[in-house]
Structure 1
Amino acid sequence: MRAVLDIILLILQLYWWVVLAMIIMSWLISFNVINTRNQFVASLWRILNQLTDPVLGPIRRMMPNFSGLDISPIILFIIIFFIQQIIGYYLYPAVIRAGI
């Protein structure tokens, strides 16, 4: 059971990095530092959006419009942090005590 919790924590941490990469890349595209006409940039952007849109989409629908400011990744970071804390403080010690 500890291995499953470790895998979940690892996946959450990796997803955190994917969302961070999407945020940084969106800034770079917005400020014309990188261009989506480049095939590598376009494919990387498409992959990052395909990985993050299924999770960020429902958050964006629930959030009010902040005049073009997208705070859904911040909400997602808070949710990921909350899940990691629940696993670290409540589930992991219970599994260790139970010897599972």
Structure 2
Amino acid sequence: MQSLFQILMLLLDVVWFFIIAHVIMSWLINFQVLNLHQQFVAQVWHMLNRILEPIYQPIRRILPPMSGIDLAPLITLVAVYALRIVLVNNAAVFY
């Protein structure tokens, strides 16, 4: 059962990393530091969008429009962190 706990924590860490990378890339693309015409940048951007959009869409449906500010990544990060707290506090179940 300890393996299950470690796998869940690893998956949450990967999701956390993907969200942070997506947010940073979106800033760099908006400030024209990165260019989507570069093949590698476009591939990474589209991969991150394919992975994260199914997570963001339900959150975006609930949130009211914020005039250009997307709070879905922030709420997703808070949810991932909350899941980590719940798992760590209930780690005794996995041992």
Shorter-chain-normalised TM-score: which range? over 0.9
For residue 10 of structure 2, what is the aligned residue in structure 1?
Answer: 10
Q: Distance in 2 between matches of 1:95 and 1:80?
A: 19
Which residues of structure 1 form unaligned runs of 5+? none
Q: Distance in 1 between matches of 2:2 and 2:59?
A: 30
1:95 equivalent to 2:94? Answer yes
For residue 43 of structure 1, what is the aligned residue in structure 2?
Answer: 43
- Scaled by the length of structure 1, what TM-score is found? 0.91
Shift of 1:2: 1.3
Which residues of structure 2 form unaligned runs of 5+? none
Q: Name the amino acid aligned to 2:19.
A: V
Shift of 1:95: 3.0
For residue 53 of structure 1, what is the aligned residue in structure 2?
Answer: 53
For residue 26 of structure 1, what is the aligned residue in structure 2?
Answer: 26
- Scaled by the length of structure 2, what TM-score is found? 0.95
Shift of 1:41: 0.8
- Choose 1 or 2 for highest CA Rg: 1
1:82 equivalent to 2:82? Answer yes
Q: Distance in 2 between matches of 1:77 and 1:95?
A: 24
Q: Distance in 1 between matches of 2:69 and 2:10?
A: 29
Q: Name the amino acid aligned to 1:62.
A: I
Shift of 1:76: 0.4
The ranges of structure 1 where at least 4 consecutive aligned residues each deviate by more than 4 angstroms after the TM superposition are none
Deviations 1:11-39, CA, capped at 9 Å, x for gaps: 00111000100000000000111110111
Q: Name the amino acid aligned to 2:94.
A: V
